[in-house]
Structure 1
Amino acid sequence: MIETLEAYAIELGPVWSAFIATSFTWMVTALGASLVFFFKEIKRSVFDTLLGFTGGVMIAASFWSLLAPSIKHAESQFPTASWIPAAVGFLAGGLFIFALDKFMPHLHINFNKEESEGVATKWHKSTLLLLAITLHNIPEGLAIGILFGAASMGMEGASITAAIALAIGIGIQNFPEGMAVAMPLRRNGASRRKSFWYGQLSAAVEPVAGVIGAFSVIYMQNILPYALSFAAGAMIFVVVEEVIPETQRDKYTDLAVLGFMAGFTLMMILDVALG
């Protein structure tokens, strides 16, 4: 199965491969949001566990799929300091999301309207919630696109199978993200259709970010190791600033940690076994 997908990706090229892979992660988000047609809410214990799982996948992907290939590739450019591109790109990625976090109005999932972040606005809570998940999804799409582009350039440590594994891992953790937007909206009185629409829309940015990521490394090959670590830094910022705090606001913190460990383990297995 993986060999077939790899051959198909090579035939399509990195940009189309990135687009299809990120469209897959978008569709999985929509699948998670579709549960709103069958349930009005989800138990908080289950929600926190799934959210923790999301964080675990993102942390593991940041190292095995992004930082490790960045360092490996940089060894030829910086034999005695291969950490330079990884460190610079990592910090730049975190600062990029930090800037978006400060200026883009948004509201984290388990927070009250008064706790919204970014520029002050009178936008509805559902809009702020959608923007928060959209912010979350930008680095995920970038990571997939950049890895497909890096693999197409023959970058040491990067491969098509690793990019496919990353897309599968992010797709799996996008399922609870779709629920994370749709369920609160439904619980607060929105219709099933509207709740689903906003839930799936939160991941629509991933194909856009994926294509941008693939294009950037194809046409600017010198930034390859920086681009990989940039995506890693962006994802780590999201996990530490957004995902983890949202799982620690009630009594199910232990379940959230176990979910985190499960997600980390799954992504590690996917990347090591397939990448």
Structure 2
Amino acid sequence: MIDFFEQFDPVTQALIATLFTWGVTAAGAGLVFITKVLHQRVLDAMLGFAAGVMIAASFWSLLAPGIEMAEQLGQIPWLTAVIGFMGGGIFMRLTDRFLPHLHPGLSMDKREGVKTSWQRSTLLVLAITLHNIPEGLAIGVAFGAVAAHLPSATLGGAIALAIGIGIQNFPEGTAVSMPLRREGMSKGKSFLMGQASGLVEPIAGVGGAMFVMSMQGILPYALCFAAGAMIFVVVEELIPESQRKYENIDLVTMTTMLGFSVMMILDVALG
């Protein structure tokens, strides 16, 4: 797999990787063609797994390499990490505050962001799109960092990040398409709405790669920024959504740990 990616420039690598993660989102949305109902316990477990993957990716693939890179570039590692990490969280908080969206399973009176007359389906897609912005950005930054030829940024690590994010994108596509299908929307339209939430990842990925390649000094900040944005999504969205039903908390906890373990294995093995 590494040999395949090596023949492309970092921007193209980021595009290929994020097209993969979008494809997995579409695969998750495609469950509507198989079933109209997905048991809440299964969906909660899938969301817990996704949270674990994102937590592990935030540290192993983004924060730790960012700290190492800051040291290699002569920066103050802890200061770079804090500025980047908190910057990512603040960016996502502002996006969450102003972007109209509605989380799966909630009624329209619980929608967030600025007031709008947009339909429920559009708001559901925007909620998952909000998750996918930092994921695409993280992949793009990871591949862009490889072009700097610093020891802390490896192609294997970037590929591991893309695989991990791809895996956890499956339940995110399902989380959009399945509620729409239950509400009476056709299979085809439910699928299209579900996969649409992942289209932002190639855009964010290519943009992230191009940005960091043009400014090497900002690479550590960008990696830590992506980590902070992903942790925000986990704490603000994935964990609360997966634990709405109290009886599923133990299951969600274990699948979160499983997701963390899978991402850790991927990063250590490939990175």
Band the TM-score falls in, shorter-chain normalisation: over 0.9
- 2:26 equivalent to 1:48: no
- 2:15 equivalent to 1:19: yes
- 2:26 equivalent to 1:36: no
State the distance in 1 between where 2:128 and 2:195 align: 10
Structure 2 residue matching 1:158: 3-state secondary structure: coil
Structure 1 residues 179-190: aligned runs within 5 Å: 179-190=174-185
Hey, what does 1:192 align to over in structure 2? Answer: 187
TM-score using structure 2 length: 0.97
State the distance in 1 between where 2:119 and 2:90 align: 27
Deviations 1:212-267 (A, max 9, x none): 11001100111000000000000001110111111121121111111111111100
Does the 8 Å CA contact 1:49/1:255 hold for their aligned counterparts?
A: yes
- In the TM superposition, residue 177 of structure 1 has moved relative to its aligned partner by 1.0
State the distance in 1 between where 2:254 and 2:178 align: 22
Does the 8 Å CA contact 1:152/1:160 hold for their aligned counterparts?
A: no
TM-score using structure 1 length: 0.96
Runs of 4+ with >4 A deviation: none
Cα distance, 1:153–1:76 mapped onto 2, change above 3 Å: closer
**Which of 235, 248, 252 is the aligned partner of 2:248?**
252
The amino acid across from 2:170 in the alignment is F
Structure 2 residue matching 1:252: 3-state secondary structure: helix
- 2:268 equivalent to 1:272: yes
Structure 2 residue matching 1:153: 3-state secondary structure: coil
State the distance in 2 between where 1:137 and 1:62 align: 14
Hey, what does 1:225 align to over in structure 2? Answer: 220
State the distance in 2 between where 1:132 and 1:95 align: 17
State the distance in 1 between where 2:109 and 2:253 align: 27
Structure 1 residue matching 2:17: 3-state secondary structure: helix
Structure 1 residues 231-250: aligned runs within 5 Å: 231-250=226-245
Hey, what does 1:57 align to over in structure 2? Answer: 53
Hey, what does 1:209 align to over in structure 2? Answer: 204
State the distance in 1 between where 2:140 and 2:102 align: 27
Structure 1 residue matching 2:185: 3-state secondary structure: coil
Does the 8 Å CA contact 1:143/1:213 hold for their aligned counterparts?
A: yes
State the distance in 1 between where 2:150 and 2:57 align: 17
The amino acid across from 2:49 in the alignment is F
Deviations 1:129-170 (A, max 9, x none): 100000100000000010001012112311001011111111
Equivalences, count: 270
The amino acid across from 1:123 in the alignment is W
Deviations 1:33-82 (A, max 9, x none): 11101100100000000000011000100000000001111113447x31
State the distance in 2 between where 1:239 and 1:66 align: 15
State the superposition RMSD in angstroms.
Answer: 1.0
**Identity across the alignment (%):** 60
State the distance in 1 between where 2:141 and 2:93 align: 20
Does the 8 Å CA contact 2:73/2:217 hold for their aligned counterparts?
A: no
Does the 8 Å CA contact 2:48/2:255 hold for their aligned counterparts?
A: yes
Structure 2 portions without partners, runs of 5+: none
State the distance in 2 between where 1:69 and 1:116 align: 36
The amino acid across from 2:26 in the alignment is A
- In the TM superposition, residue 107 of structure 1 has moved relative to its aligned partner by 0.7
Q: Which moved more, 1:131-140 or 1:256-265?
A: 256-265
State the distance in 1 between where 2:3 and 2:136 align: 21
Q: Which moved more, 1:196-205 or 1:251-260?
A: 251-260
Hey, what does 2:71 align to over in structure 1? Answer: 75
Q: Which moved more, 1:49-58 or 1:104-113?
A: 104-113
**Which of 151, 154, 172 is the aligned partner of 2:149?**
154
State the distance in 1 between where 2:143 and 2:156 align: 9
